[in-house]
Structure 1
């Protein structure tokens, strides 16, 4: 069992608030982690409902009466987005228990739709619920599990979904990714998303893979797909809501320079990215034009998944093409500028330093494919991914409460 970094965060949430919602894509390990966490509470029993099962859905025909039965129990409700009318009853039960002195740890909700989608149904739970996202495996989790045999290339190529990363061989990983993509567009997204033809959404998803790490140009995508500009935006938002795509927003601080305002898009899991691009081996990837953008997306996603809610992230690009791949803004006026390079001997351009001056960067890093940490010109450090994630984790732990 690979220890997930957010495990203690979930346990703390269940000890602090009545409801914790653990969100993330399907097949990412939410149910496994929920059962693991349930064993951490010696003073409470746990019970489990899977809303993909008709038998469990039927138990909730009179949900208020059914849910009231679970006193001093953490009730785990899986695929909660399938029954949005449950949320008002959860509020009533939580308020009733609070008046009785039971303040926290009532429900652990597991969902495959984004926080924004769930909030449309759960506004009544404001002040009673904490949202936590579970991502595919992070590089630091895999490293901590077995530092001696850690291979960043395996995680990068296969991606972090347990079914792909832990597959017995590369062929089985490839087949798992193929099945996952097909199931997502044919079954999972239609359950909550708009009525989008599966073939068209899969084609759009594959098109996005070719734009990985670039700014969104809706008109180009619309023309290629032969749909309207608003339709492209809808499709993009659907894949974002279901954790398949990240839209990295541009930096929005004060500067006199004209900045690019479109988000950059990344396929969040590189295993899925490589499957969509039909890159079937690591050797093929190393010679592919998408090599640099794939590595950039992999590093960016690993860093963002490590951040606490006290940090904000964006990218910076001016009209004159001065650019920073990732800008992190944290407590105590920390502004970290991060350039991502696949090269084992990275070099940085003058434009990066100009951009760092524009944003007032307090630290400058180049995260590259090597492991040695060493200084570069203009107060910049080259650093490997694992050491950077460890540095970020240490800083996050020291953030003021």
Structure 2
């Protein structure tokens, strides 16, 4: 498989010079181990490598973590560290004793905020990064800086990429961001995602939750995928999967913990009244959504009932990834009030709110930007607005509202 340079490489190396430990989390098969093995080989310092997928190593790490670290001495790369949270206290002791940047490179297939033991043991000592499936910027070797509504930066982004028409954009969405598909190692979309669910996702879900009905869980995650880009509704998902709402809530928590889904929360501001409180549900990888919802090909998806929702999911996930890869948090929300006025994305940056609409059209109308007026009463200043759409070039309605091609995000 040809290695595709990951946007996070420079961020990881920069933080490795500052933090004694770095924890890179994210779903399986997104390239965490491959990237760190490449970076470790380039270090040329003989960094030790051990994976806790190896049951013998895992048993030692859990039962005798002190001995484990005597055998696998820093600088060390410990893969799938979530299996032995017992290590964290001993890593803390080593860090407090030696204070060497880069001693511990750690990966985990769970989101760090939800990983047992990290916050308590390594607070202030560990740099945290999250790797999602590949962004479109990574797949075409283009600018991977955080996405902002700055005309100069946007001009630079679109110059580095080849324009896509709508069918080609949906082919990119349908294919998804798994490195094995993007690199061409695998060409069978269905076979890869089927194997991914049965080999990795099913195993990790059972690791977290214990006994679980695999068929019911498949119905559940399919129901969740069908509601991507929509406000979270436990009852709808539960009814479709034949489970109760409490179980649906717990299983969504597992998907979030495994880095499969994330939420966009409504923008909260007491100057803006009558707002909804439910988050919206998104998947990090649209290829997984397309597989789960059983679209046969990208053309069918483009013309189907989910075309708008999956396009919105793609846009939101691409923006989130652009910040993750840079080691920054994206302060991104949506707006919807009880009068059904809605703004797809509100990006908060440098004291301003940047409103964005997502539309499946190559010729957007300026009236789409009228809804942006609803945030004029917010405490933060309203910044440049934009319609993100399937147009073939970067342009603008006026000095305050841009038209941005989705392939340029």
Question: Which structure has the higher relative contact order (CA within 8 Å, separation 6+)?
Answer: 2
Of the three residues 331, 335, 338, the one matched with 2:353 is 335
> In the aligned structure 1, how far is the partner of 2:349 from the partner of 2:162?
32
Give how far 1:202 is off: 1.1
CA spacing shift, 1:147–1:363, aligned 2, 3 Å: closer
SS of 2:75's equivalent in the other structure is: strand
Give how far 1:316 is off: 0.7
- Divergent runs of 4+, >6 A: none
**Counterpart in the other structure of 1:174:** 190
> In the aligned structure 2, how far is the partner of 1:149 from the partner of 1:224?
39
Structure 1 residue 380 and structure 2 residue 382: aligned? Answer: no
> In the aligned structure 2, how far is the partner of 1:53 from the partner of 1:310?
33
Show CA shifts across 1:293-352 (max 9, x none): 111100110001112535411111111111111111112x13211111121112343652
**Does the aligned pair in 2 maintain the 1:159–1:271 contact within 8 Å?**
yes
Structure 1 residue 353 and structure 2 residue 354: aligned? Answer: no
CA spacing shift, 1:59–1:196, aligned 2, 3 Å: closer
> In the aligned structure 1, how far is the partner of 2:116 from the partner of 2:319?
26
**Does the aligned pair in 2 maintain the 1:321–1:351 contact within 8 Å?**
no
**Counterpart in the other structure of 2:331:** 312
SS of 2:106's equivalent in the other structure is: strand
Structure 1 residue 108 and structure 2 residue 105: aligned? Answer: yes
CA spacing shift, 1:319–1:139, aligned 2, 3 Å: same
**Does the aligned pair in 1 maintain the 2:266–2:279 contact within 8 Å?**
yes
> In the aligned structure 2, how far is the partner of 1:358 from the partner of 1:157?
39
Structure 1 residue 129 and structure 2 residue 126: aligned? Answer: yes
In structure 1, stretches of 5+ residues that fail to align are: 390-401
Show CA shifts across 1:11-53 (max 9, x none): 11111011100000000000100011113435x3211101111
* Length-normalised TM-score, structure 1: 0.88
Structure 1 residue 159 and structure 2 residue 176: aligned? Answer: yes
* Length-normalised TM-score, structure 2: 0.86
Q: CA RMSD in A?
A: 2.3
**Does the aligned pair in 1 maintain the 2:132–2:284 contact within 8 Å?**
no
> In the aligned structure 1, how far is the partner of 2:245 from the partner of 2:64?
43
CA spacing shift, 1:130–1:193, aligned 2, 3 Å: farther
Give how far 1:283 is off: 1.3
In structure 2, stretches of 5+ residues that fail to align are: 143-159
SS of 2:82's equivalent in the other structure is: helix
Give how far 1:131 is off: 0.9
CA spacing shift, 1:263–1:58, aligned 2, 3 Å: closer
**Counterpart in the other structure of 1:326:** 345
> In the aligned structure 2, how far is the partner of 1:167 from the partner of 1:39?
24
**Counterpart in the other structure of 2:220:** 204
Structure 1 residue 50 and structure 2 residue 51: aligned? Answer: yes
Give how far 1:70 is off: 5.4
**Does the aligned pair in 1 maintain the 2:170–2:299 contact within 8 Å?**
no
Of the three residues 3, 9, 12, the one matched with 1:10 is 12
Give how far 1:87 is off: 0.9
